[in-house]
């Protein structure tokens, strides 16, 4: 069961590492991301925070998965 948990955490980490950066490129190109003066809007800021948190969780999942598989 520990091996399964480790593999699941690694799959989660890879999925998040692949999906969220691609989503960021779409968010950054969205017209709602910047106002008329080119400044970032709340839309961009909120998505940047959410994507940052998701990537942090991916990193933690990767570390936990490796630790479970090594031990």
In order, the DSSP letters of 8-54 are HHHHHHHHHHHHHHHHHHHHHHSGGGB-TTS-B-HHHHHHHHHHHHH
Q: What is the reported pTM?
A: 0.87
User: What pLDDT does 71 receive?
Assistant: 82
Instruction: Give pLDDT tens digits for 17-29.
Output: 999 999 999 999 9
């Amino acid at each position: 069961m520990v091996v399964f948990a480790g593999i699941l955490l690694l799959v989660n980490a890879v999925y998040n590492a692949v999906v969220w950066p691609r989503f960021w490129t779409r968010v950054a190109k969205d017209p709602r991301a910047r106002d008329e003066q080119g400044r970032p809007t709340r839309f961009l800021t909120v998505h940047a925070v959410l994507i940052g948190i998701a990537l942090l969780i991916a990193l933690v999942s990767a570390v936990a998965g490796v630790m479970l598989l090594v031990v």
